[in-house]
Structure 1
Amino acid sequence: MQKKAPKIDPSLVADFPLFNDMKKEDIGDILEKGVAKHYKKGDRFFDQFDEATHFFLMLDGYLEVSKTTEEGSQVIMRHFGVGELFGVAPAIAQKNYPATSRALVDCVAILWENKFWDLFLVEHPQFIKNAYSAIGQRLAQSQERIVEMSTEQVERRVAHAVMRLTHQCGVKTETGILIDFPVSRQDIAEMTGTTLHTVSRLFSAWSTKGLMQVGRQKIEVLEAHKLALLAQGH
């Protein structure tokens, strides 16, 4: 169930990379053309193959993007957090969303109708430039994941996945870095192309060594440097 959220003050988003080198009045104009909405945990922003009608900016919360293969298997593609643009089908000339996007916690997002993409291209080219910069970074990250899946042993792939989540969605605690949304061993398995049993075995070994603490849908990395070394094959 979704409900309309209050109007967004441009000063609250001015520090997002999406609005780098933009004037406050230009940011305000862009925000006024969008609609801010609340999404409950588990709500879907869109489903795979749905007609692409809007693009989105996350203001609060985290979401998961996943694809379902022809065989029916689910593959988690990426997680998005505060300040990130997603569902940008018009940027890649797609008429349908290529994946499903689901709220991992209660979220607030701004959505714009796709027609505004071309308008922003003319009226706010810096916004579009920043958006394509972010899309380019994601493409590079996707290529890195393909290399990992093709060439690395499973231990390195899983370590990379956990470290990637700490960088994207990690919150510092007194003892380490907590991944700031519910994430399960099965989620990690789907992200890395391995099995639940393998992830459980690795997590158990790493917990015994003091590298991490794992609870029900909760992961806290205690020794990020050592886990990063594992990801690098050391």
Structure 2
Amino acid sequence: MPSPLCHALLRNLDLFRPLSDSQLDAALREAVPCRLEAGEAAYRQGAPGAHFFVLLHGCLKVSQLTSEGDQVVVRYVNPGDMFGLACAMRQSCYPASVVAVQESVCLAWPASAWEGFTAAHPQLSAIALQTMGQRLQDAHLRIQELSTDEVEQRVARAILRLVQQSGQPMQDGIGISFPITRQDVAEMTGTTLHTVSRLLSDWKQRGIVSSGRKRIVLRSPAALERLFENAQPAMDCASCLSCRDGSPAVQAQEAIAAH
């Protein structure tokens, strides 16, 4: 049985706030608390989908290894988010890996408990369906961005999206509240570490962002928004092999959307 601390943390999350104390106790009956150190995996891509989870504290990175061996960062999991919903999608294995980017705490339920969990708590079932629908919509949007946007647009959108989801006020702007590397941004946007480093260095000189080791702070959201709003349309490159076949990032997003 989870500790009273887990109970208190759940009570503060939007996902569980509608439940009465007795309903919350029932929901927690089969849950097991899990603490993950930075870099530790909750599960790996292809592993049996034995559990579903709710993140209580910290931040997790969802990534997928494509058939070509490229890693693509799909999204980040924030406190209150459900994840590992392979059982809800009738999938036997997890379609991606989930790794802690900082010390994190989550609750895990056995996949066999999913049917009873959702039947006993229809509010949670509705939220889970809404969550999966939103992720599918987000995946489709990112496929479109990867297919049509210039690299600078994609990187600008990714940083703005992270700030909107996990922004934290700081002295010099709004920072992404968890450690994030330039390689992470490259894997989110289907580009290279060199390109992301060049863009962030240019934006830093222009006063748009400040960055350091595993740290990005947005100093001027309006300036970053203008970068993709005023960008020129991408050239027609239908003959380019990477565009015809789909970049690794596009292929991974399509796979995630399919799940």
With the length of structure 1 as denominator, give the TM-score of the two structures.
0.93
Counterpart of 2:138, as a letter, is Q
The match for 2:141 is: 144
The match for 1:69 is: 66
Q: How does 1:1-234 map to 2 (within 5 A)?
A: 6-19=3-16, 21-233=18-230
* Secondary structure at 1:48 match in 2: coil
CA distance in 2, matches of 1:7, 1:87: 24
| Alpha-carbon spacing, 1:174–1:122, altered in 2? closer, same or farther (3 Å) | same
Q: 5+ unaligned residues in a row in structure 1: which ranges?
A: none
Counterpart of 2:82, as a letter, is L
| Alpha-carbon spacing, 1:39–1:201, altered in 2? closer, same or farther (3 Å) | same
Cα deviation, residue 216, structure 1: 1.1
- 2:40/2:99 contact within 8 Å kept: yes
Cα deviation, residue 24, structure 1: 3.0
CA distance in 2, matches of 1:111, 1:232: 42
CA distance in 2, matches of 1:208, 1:5: 49
- 1:49/1:98 contact within 8 Å kept: yes
Cα deviation, residue 55, structure 1: 0.5
Q: 5+ unaligned residues in a row in structure 2: which ranges?
A: 232-259
| Alpha-carbon spacing, 1:139–1:232, altered in 2? closer, same or farther (3 Å) | farther
Cα deviation, residue 117, structure 1: 0.9
| Alpha-carbon spacing, 1:233–1:112, altered in 2? closer, same or farther (3 Å) | farther
- 1:176/1:223 contact within 8 Å kept: yes
With the length of structure 2 as denominator, give the TM-score of the two structures.
0.84
Count matched residues.
Answer: 231
| Alpha-carbon spacing, 1:8–1:93, altered in 2? closer, same or farther (3 Å) | farther
CA distance in 1, matches of 2:109, 2:67: 30
- 1:76/1:187 contact within 8 Å kept: yes
Counterpart of 2:19, as a letter, is M
The share of aligned pairs that are identical, in percent, is 38
* Secondary structure at 1:38 match in 2: strand
CA distance in 1, matches of 2:176, 2:16: 26
Counterpart of 2:57, as a letter, is D
CA distance in 1, matches of 2:41, 2:69: 19
- 2:45/2:94 contact within 8 Å kept: yes
Cα deviation, residue 92, structure 1: 1.0
Cα deviation, residue 26, structure 1: 1.2
CA shift digits 1:17-47 (9 cap, x unpaired)? 3225332321221123201121111110001
* Secondary structure at 2:105 match in 1: strand
